[in-house]
Structure 1
Amino acid sequence: MQFQGTADYVADKDLMIAVNAAIRLERPLLVKGEPGTGKTELARQVAAALGIEMLEWNVKSTTKAQQGLYEYDAVSRLRDSQLGDARVHDVNNYIRKGKLWQAFSAAKKCVLLIDEIDKADIEFPNDLLQELDRMEFHVYETGETVTARVRPIVIITSNNEKELPDAFLRRCFFHYIRFPDVETLEKIVEVHYPGIRKTLLGNALSQFYEIRETPGLKKKPSTSEALDWIRLLVAEDVDPADLRGDARNALPKLHGALLKNEQDVHLFERLAFMARRER
């Protein structure tokens, strides 16, 4: 299996090497990068390119590792026993399979996405060490051991909100998705908006990178936010000439797509005010 990118996803050479190395080593691929740089979409595109199923496990702050294996509903079983339900005699009726179990029991190779692992408790990655390493786990309620029929391609994403344990990192192949340069971002935009006017694209990206490089910016706009902004510029038929000049001289047009907190909006308002005073 070789990942060569897709028509809908611009993957650079280093990213393709990382995906294929993880597949070859049969190790989880840990992908880090700024939010909005296409980490989650990578898993979907790998599955699409290889023609295999994808299972997605979205991690939250309250997610426990056990939920990825299975959950045993003891409360429902107790209630059914009180009601005399015959289902109570089979414990399997009260076990809900998690995403890891589903991936392990799949008849064909699939992609398992563990999305935003850094949102969970610090012990979450440690609790999955053996399961991801050995590709098996024990079900205590039934006494069975679930072993992967075909080893899945595991892709794990992190926004770097917290450090991951060394023991977990040792078991992964790591890749950091760097923020794209102008040329790469042009290709990404053209994939999403084929036929976009070159002057609009050039002026928009010029202003976008000026905004990202503004000193004091609390949250730099991401790739996905750039795409949203350009989509609005196209929909509003904005004149490319209106986007020329220094982005710090005024609030960007449709700035709500790029600036996501009041501190950054106030920063650009102050810069615009100071620029007007100097004229």
Structure 2
Amino acid sequence: MKFEGTERYVATDDLRMAVNAAVALQRPLLIKGEPGTGKTMLAEEVAAGLGMPLIQWHIKSTTKAQQGLYEYDAVSRLRDSQLGDEKVHDIANYIKKGKLWEAFTAEEQVVLLIDEIDKADIEFPNDLLVELDRMEFFVYETGETVKAKHRPVIIITSNNEKELPDAFLRRCFFHFINFPDKETMREIIAVHYPDISKSLVAEAMEVFFDLREIPGLKKKPSTSELIDWLKLLMADEIPDEILKERDPSKAIPPLYGALMKNEQDVHLLERLAFMHRREMR
């Protein structure tokens, strides 16, 4: 059982090796990289490539580790007891299964995505150490132990918003997705738009990579933003010449809203264009 990539996802040799190493070691695969480099999509494609169902747990700043196991709704049980509802006698009616419970009790091996783990508080990863190690957890309200029928393939993503605990990192296989070089980027674009004009791709990529090299950008445009920008360029039938005849005194590319996502970076480009116009006088 090896991941070789899919038709929809361009996986480098290093990335394929990392996925297969994590599967062989039966350890969570921790994926880091710039936002927009396909970390979440990787889990979807690993599931497709290995022929497994995908269970996704998207982490928020308010998410607690316990929610991945289960939640006990004591308020509903109290209300039902006041109303004389018969189901109040079975506490299992008030247990809501979490994503880890779903993954552990699935009838076949699944891929479990724990997405953007760095959004949660610092204790969140440590609170899952025992469960991810032993592949089981105890439900105090019912007295049962939930054990994994099949060890899931666990993929954990992080945008590096905060450091993860060492004890958690020791239990993971780590891979950093480097930003694609131009050749890999062409392959990614071809997957999304197989019939796109090669000249449009060439000129758009020049603009895109030039933007990324501008010092002082608060947020560099990402792969997913390049894909969106190309879609707009094709939809609006922007001629290749507009991109080819780049004028440094007009630094902002057409439909820049797909690439630039904050006003500071737009103002930076405007200042660069203004300074170039002054130099040309």
Q: Which runs of 5+ in 1 are unaligned?
A: none
Matched residues, percent identical? Answer: 69
Does residue 116 of structure 1 match 2:107?
A: no
Q: What's the CA shift string for 1:230-254, capped at 9, x where partnerless? A: 1111111111111125575421111
Question: Displaced runs of 4+ in structure 1, greater than 4 A?
Answer: 245-248
The count of aligned residue pairs is 279
Letter of the 2:278 partner, please give it: R
The DSSP-based 3-state class of the residue aligned with 1:171 is coil
Q: Which residue of structure 1 aligns with residue 47 of structure 2?
A: 47
Deviation of 1:14 after TM superposition, in Å, equals: 0.2
Paired residue secondary structure (2:16): helix
Shift in Å at residue 228 of structure 1?
0.5
2:65 aligns with 65
SS of 1:176's partner is: strand
Tell me how far apart the structure 2 counterparts of residues 267 and 247 of structure 1 sit (CA, whole Å): 16
Aligned-partner Cα distance in 1 for 2:279–2:192: 40
Measure, in 2, the Cα distance between the counterparts of 1:93 and 1:102.
16
Map 1:102-251; keep pairs closer than 5 Å: 102-245=102-245, 248-249=248-249, 250-251=251-252
Deviations 1:190-240 (A, max 9, x none): 110111111110000011000000011110011000100111111111111
Map 1:7-22 to 2 at 5 A.
7-22=7-22
Aligned to 2:267: 266
- Which amino acid in the other structure matches residue 81 of structure 2? S
- In structure 2, distance between residues paired with 1:247 and 1:98: 54
* 2:29 alignment partner in structure 1: 29
What is aligned with 1:2?
2
On the 8 A contact 1:210/1:247 being kept in 2, the answer is: no
Relative to structure 1, is the Cα distance of residues 175 and 247 closer, same or farther in structure 2, using a 3 angstrom cutoff? farther
Separation in 1, partners of 2:25, 2:54? 19
Does residue 87 of the first structure (1) align with residue 95 of the second (2)?
A: no
Pairwise CA distance, 1:273: 1.2
The answer to whether the 8 Å contact 1:248/1:268 transfers is no
Q: State the alpha-carbon separation in 1 of the partners of residues 209 and 19 from structure 2.
A: 28
Please give the secondary structure, in 2, of the residue aligned with 1:137. Answer: strand
SS at match of 1:162: coil
- Distance in 1 between the 2:246 and 2:179 partners? 22
Distance, in Å, in 2 between the alignment partners of 1:29 and 1:12 is 16
Q: Could you say if the C-alpha distance between residues 43 and 142 of structure 1 is closer, same or farther in structure 2, counting changes exceeding 3 Å?
A: same
1:109-134 superposed Cα distances (whole Å, 9 cap, x missing partner): 00000000000000000000000011
The answer to whether 1:276 aligns with 2:277 is yes
Q: Output the aligned Cα RMSD.
A: 0.9
Q: Distance in 2 between matches of 1:158 and 1:4?
A: 23
- Change in Cα spacing, 1:273 to 1:159, as seen in structure 2 (3 Å) is same
Instruction: Name the TM-score, length of structure 2 as normaliser.
Output: 0.98
* Residue identity opposite 1:127 in structure 2: D
Which secondary structure does the structure 2 equivalent of 1:114 belong to?
A: strand
